[in-house]
Structure 1
Amino acid sequence: MTLAAQHILIVGGGFSGMSAAIELRKLGAEVDLVEIDPGWRNYGAGISLGGATLRAFRQLGILDAFLEHGAAHDGVSLRLPNGAQVAELPTPRIAGPDVPGGGAIMRPVLGRLLADATRAAGTTVRLGCTFTSIEQDAEGVELSFTDGQRRRYDLVIGADGLYSKLRETLFPDAPKPRYTGQACWRAVVPRPPEIRNATMWIGPQVKPGVNPVSKTEMYLFLLEPRPVNEHVDPATFVDQLRGLLADFPAPELQAIRAGLGPTSQVVFRPLEALLMPRPWSKGRIVLIGDTVHATTPHLASGACIGIEDALVLAEEVGRHDRVEAALSAFEARRWERCRMVVENSARLGEIEIDGGDKEEHTGIMRNSLMALAQPI
């Protein structure tokens, strides 16, 4: 096989960067991955995943590990604040007839599964390291690193996230992350037997939900409108989350509220988004994942489209003998799908903030899930 690039560097060890390393190693490329965090940590509580993500896991070779350590199920239940169910969104089994249409897992657990697979694939991983300078010519890219090394590559992949140093270096005029006017609260809580799949309660402006992450645990998420992105004292997290749940008499939510206390681990995150216009590449350097299309969690697809970027990029590197052609084909395949996820997620957030049309909200979710079921 003739590859567009044989010596490849990945900057950033998040989900999309690790996925790119795994797939490119399958092609026989020599892959280095540098990650600035010496502990290679993934922060947060749970992460919801759709069928398209599980399909990607199957290709990556981590689906069985996910099913062992996470939770998989069919359908998304939509309920009123009092608990009455108003809709059940279907989640097609696009990963295969034997795999449920969605699921969830703890973020640190998924990070560990991908890190193990990245190393097992033969990737050279350098932790606590990033680039200090980058120069390219027609034949390659030369970088200096914080560990004192200087190396040359055929292709550099930027997967260093929402606040990407590589994006800022390559495209200094690119859009900056934008605060969306919503924040998300998360906590891991015990899973009662009656919670079998992802479930959301649709309030006028606040939307809580739960999703199983294992046989015994689920994670609570709650979207809240916040006009200003200001500091919130962590000492107030539990009390604020309890207050937000007070308006939802559904028994499941009240049981969660009663169980929140001083030892509860609550995560608070203002929601930011980014959609960088094309091009996503310059010469032999290409950006993927949150670096170019960070989205809010409304469609549970931010990780999905970043991981899919990695799969498609590897396919195009293996399909072409020139880097320019591979990157052009990659962008052409990815733009519309990623744009749809970012913009539809943003619209869902606007509807929630404004207390808008719930039928439009449900329709966008249904149509988006159907679009995500299509091949990549």
Structure 2
Amino acid sequence: MTKIKKVLIVGGGFSGMSAAIELRKHGVQVDLVELDPDWRSYGAGISLGGATLRAFDRLGILQEFLRHGNAADGVELYLPDGQRLGELPTPRIAGPDVPGGGAIMRPVLARILAQATRDAGTQVRLGCTFSSITQDAEGVEVAFTDGQRGRYDLVIGADGLYSKVRAAIFPDAPVPAYSGQAVWRAVLPRPAEVKTAMMWVGGRCKPGVNPVSATEMYLFVTENRPLNERVDPQEFLPQLSGLLAEFSAPMLRRIRDSLDADSIVFRPLEHLLVPRPWHTGRVVLIGDAVHATTPHMASGACIGIEDAIVLAEELMRAPSPDAALQTFQARRWERCRMVVENSIRLGEIEMAAGDKAEHSRIMGETLMALASPI
């Protein structure tokens, strides 16, 4: 077991909170700093696969997710006119009694994780981040933006796609790249007939809906968008409505008529895969800071949370911090690379109206790989 007694986590997103929860189970003192003073999570719904629900079970938040979100089996597939094509199966990875997928509002999931983080005994400081990181062979000295200083056995950078920790320790690391697609999301009342995720394929864009609670669902529309240009929020409603206009499926017609501009979220899709190593000395990166993926496999949150679980495991059983970080890297690289690169390829096929058989094969192979133990 490593002599890791005190850890700093920079970033209070899903990966950072998960790392805090897991480390506190082993009695490690954890400080977590989050720049946002209100600890907010932006966005609408988030779709989750069975591997994510398995990770929730490990964290101890699965029952809270089931209470406040929605879990269901399968993804129903339709043509633009509403004709049913079939169903994509979702294996019950989290256990025989737990459906194979689900969804929840991002802010709701963030609140669940934040409560579990505090309940675990994590020392959380909001409106604060690091101003400098200096390390030696035995630990890391950190200066904070609130004037405080601290010394830690390990620093975990979990501060997302535009990570400041990454920029500080790996200044030559690649930067996020635009994928050529963007996604629109909106929160809507859930009709009784929406039991699980539904997608309409074969049009110029790819819409879908997923229930996020007993009363709500969220709409997602993936659009091919060659240029990463800012969209004026005043244009959100007319642009999203225009994308849905080509679909004659009755449900999408009703959704189009009920759109509310205030609930629409637009996000260009970016991705990032930082080459190994993901650590230097006693500073390590996890989650979107090193492997941000597009949502084609609904697994971005999953692989970040899995990072936290695996890192805690290795820190508790390896003979030294360096050995723990080396083994963490070895366990995580291929799985995370697969999700990022396969998601990118799925987007490329969609943009080119390419081989549907290849698209299906990649999705199936990725789902099978994610079902394997972490």
SS of the equivalent of 1:39 reads: coil
Distance in 1 (alpha carbons) for counterparts of 2:20 and 2:291: 19
User: In structure 2, which of residues 275, 294, 297 is the aligned counterpart of residue 296 of structure 1?
Assistant: 294
User: In structure 2, which of residues 264, 267, 270 is the aligned counterpart of residue 269 of structure 1?
Assistant: 267
Cα offset for 1:366?
A: 1.7
Structure-2-length-normalised TM-score: 0.99
1:196-345 superposed matches below 5 A: 196-262=195-261, 264-345=262-343
Cα offset for 1:124?
A: 0.4
Cα offset for 1:80?
A: 1.2
Q: CA 1:134 to 1:64, structure 2 compared with 1: closer, same or farther past 3 Å?
A: same
Cα offset for 1:205?
A: 3.3
Distance in 2 (alpha carbons) for counterparts of 1:205 and 1:303: 27
SS of the equivalent of 1:200 reads: strand
1:103-118 superposed matches below 5 A: 103-118=102-117
User: Which residue does 1:138 correspond to in 2?
Assistant: 137
SS of the equivalent of 1:162 reads: coil
Matched, 1:24 2:23: yes
User: Which residue does 1:167 correspond to in 2?
Assistant: 166
Contact 2:292 2:340 in 1 (8 A): yes
When structure 1 is superposed on structure 2, of 32-41 and 4-13 the one drifting more is 4-13
1:33-182 superposed matches below 5 A: 33-182=32-181
Contact 1:158 1:166 in 2 (8 A): yes
When structure 1 is superposed on structure 2, of 159-168 and 201-210 the one drifting more is 201-210
Q: Which amino acid aligns with 1:370?
A: M
When structure 1 is superposed on structure 2, of 84-93 and 323-332 the one drifting more is 84-93
Q: Which amino acid aligns with 1:372?
A: L
The alignment's C-alpha RMSD in Å is: 0.9
Contact 1:204 1:355 in 2 (8 A): no
User: Which residue does 1:194 correspond to in 2?
Assistant: 193
Cα offset for 1:4?
A: 4.0
Cα offset for 1:122?
A: 0.3
Cα offset for 1:258?
A: 0.9
Contact 1:155 1:285 in 2 (8 A): yes
Q: Which amino acid aligns with 2:78?
A: R
Distance in 1 (alpha carbons) for counterparts of 2:319 and 2:87: 47
1:81-140: CA deviation from partner (whole Å, max 9, x where unpaired):
112222311111111111000000000000000000000000000000100011001000
Distance in 2 (alpha carbons) for counterparts of 1:160 and 1:222: 27
Structure-1-length-normalised TM-score: 0.98
Q: Which amino acid aligns with 1:52?
A: A
Q: Which amino acid aligns with 2:227?
A: V
User: In structure 2, which of residues 344, 357, 360 is the aligned counterpart of residue 359 of structure 1?
Assistant: 357
Cα offset for 1:76?
A: 1.1
When structure 1 is superposed on structure 2, of 62-71 and 357-366 the one drifting more is 357-366
Q: Which amino acid aligns with 1:180?
A: S
What's the % identity of the aligned pairs? Answer: 71
Structure 1: stretches of 5+ with no match in the other structure: none
Distance in 2 (alpha carbons) for counterparts of 1:365 and 1:212: 21
